[in-house]
């Protein structure tokens, strides 16, 4: 099933839940309190934006609890989303892989900058140290020449 088809399924489930919620007289706030969630999550479920907020098991559990509260049979709702649940998991897996790769690149860049900074600091210390030693030699020669008879 393509991505549009999956989104349509989620919107259908969301529409079913929203329609039933309003029929039985619940507000989004009341459902959110009963499920101990933010209203934004309930709105996301009702609008079909589930990929952005949860993985498959979490989504399934929420939909089942939500359906119970508003008097729908869980099995009916689960029929609508069962084939699409795997796609949520795949999308999250891909996002996690992308984040890990980006984090690895970021750490690599930071490590490289740190390596160059430490190298530059060591070179500067060596140059300053050699200049100080050279200056001491010159100072000793001046002192010897001034005080020698």
Please say if the pLDDT value at position 147 is more than 60: no
71: alpha, beta or left, given left = phi > 0 and alpha = psi -120 to 50? left
Name the residue with tokens 């860049």: 109
Query: Whole domain around residue 80: which residue ranges?
Result: 3-94
Residue 13, domain CATH: 1.10.260.40
Residue 8, domain member (yes or no)? yes
In a domain, residue 87? The reply is yes
The predicted-structure confidence for 61-110, as pLDDT tens digits, reads as follows 888 888 889 988 877 777 777 655 666 666 666 677 677 767 667 667 77
Q: Is residue 113 one of the residues assigned to a domain? A: no
Q: Is 99 contained in some domain?
A: no
Q: Structural domain tally of the chain?
A: 1
Alpha helices in the chain (DSSP H): 3-24, 28-35, 39-47, 56-69, 74-81, 85-147
Residue-wise pLDDT for 5-57, tens only, equals 455 555 678 889 999 999 999 999 999 999 888 898 899 888 887 765 666 55
Q: Is residue 52 part of a domain?
A: yes
Please give the C-alpha separations between residue 109 and each of 28, 90, 95, 104, 105, in angstroms, as whole numbers: 45, 29, 21, 9, 6
């Amino acid at each position: 099933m393509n991505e549009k088809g999956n989104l349509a399924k989620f919107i259908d489930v969301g529409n079913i839940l929203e329609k039933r919620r309003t029929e039985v007289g619940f507000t989004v706030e009341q459902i959110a309190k009963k499920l101990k969630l933010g209203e934004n999550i309930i709105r996301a479920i009702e609008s079909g934006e589930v990929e952005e907020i949860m993985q498959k098991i979490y989504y399934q559990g929420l939909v089942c609890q939500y359906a119970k509260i508003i008097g729908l049979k869980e099995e009916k709702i689960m029929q609508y989303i069962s084939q699409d649940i795997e796609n949520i998991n795949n999308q999250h897996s891909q996002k996690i892989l992308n984040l890990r790769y980006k984090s690895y690149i970021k750490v690599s860049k930071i490590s490289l900058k740190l390596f160059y900074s430490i190298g530059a600091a060591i070179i500067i210390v060596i140059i300053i140290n050699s200049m100080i030693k050279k200056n001491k030699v010159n100072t000793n020669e001046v002192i010897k020449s001034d005080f020698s008879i």
